[in-house]
Amino acid sequence: MLESIFGAGYVAYKQTTPRWIPRPPRAAVSGPHDWGEAWRSEVSTFLQYAALGGAFAIKQGLSGQL
């Protein structure tokens, strides 16, 4: 299905990407990357982990009091 959507670009990607076991790239890959943008895009994920950890801590504290 992806081949029908993306065509030759997907076929080329498939030939260079391992299917089951990831491996590091053979050659250094360069391109634009902004770490600040990456961190900003993950802030909500970090907050969700913190909230989940807090909920587990509260649950643990309450279960010890029962």
Q: Is residue 32 domain-resident?
A: no
Q: Is residue 9 domain-resident?
A: yes
Q: Is residue 33 domain-resident?
A: no
Residue 19: which domain range? 2-27+41-65
Q: Is residue 35 domain-resident?
A: no
Overall number of domains in the chain: 1
Q: What's the pLDDT at 66? A: 56
Per DSSP, helices labelled H in the chain are: 2-6, 8-16, 35-41, 43-65
Is pLDDT above 90 for 19?
no
Confidence of residue 29 (pLDDT cuts 50, 70, 90): confident
Q: How far is CA 55 from CA 10, 30, 43, 44, 58, in A?
A: 42, 41, 18, 16, 5
Q: What is the pTM of this model?
A: 0.46
Q: What's the pLDDT at 45? A: 94
| CA dihedral (25, 26, 31, 36) positive or negative | positive
Let me know: does 47 contact 54? Beta carbons within 8 Å.
Answer: no
